[in-house]
A and B are shown apart, each in its own frame.
Chain A
């Protein structure tokens, strides 16, 4: 089975540029999560969706960040304009609520560097 797919795996961009991160969840999963991880702040939940609907975006740092899930098999996280402090690893995770299971499965992450 294909796991969670993220692209790109690495992104280096200059301050002020727009960055778009992509995620394809595991087929059949109905929840999708975006996380950011840094050494200083650990793993932070940015936003999550249930059945393509954003449920909790309280972790989104500011208006420069936006996330969409137009269908069950695709989501994007956009940063516009990007800043050096956005440099981090961004993980996407998905979850299927079969049998009341709440385990999340993570993608390999996108390592973002903003110079």
Chain B
């Protein structure tokens, strides 16, 4: 079993749709969580951190469930520009800050 697992995707949705991605992690000692976005042939870029209380940034909402060891990303009113691969990242602070990336979920938003 992989340390970080994401929905396999791909997700193909129309503009304006709401889409949600889930990510599970196996290391219960994990302490920091992030969502990154990667466009085709570009580097991953930080989308948002994920806090225990959940956090929102515009159309994006991230949530953490420590008991079930999963994090989620919700995108509301999706735009064509949201088309990208979304990577779930888990940081193991007990290992001097090593981060583990999921394989990513690809989202395509269509007109």
Contact = CB atoms under 8 A, between A and B. Distances in A.
Interface of A: 31, 33, 42-43, 45, 48, 50, 55-56, 91, 95, 97, 102-109
Contacts of A43: 44, 87, 101, 103-104
B49 interface: yes
Given A42-B103, A42-B104, A43-B87, A106 B43 contact: yes
Chain B contact patch, size range: 20 to 34
Nearest to B90: A102
Contact of A102 (B99, B103, B104): B99
A45 B98 contact: yes
Interface string B81-103: 00000010101010111111101
A48 B45 CA distance: 18
A109 B41 CA distance: 9
Contacts of B32: 102
Nearest to A53: B96
B97 A50 contact: yes
A97 B96 CA distance: 10
B99 A104 contact: yes
B60 to A, nearest CB: 16
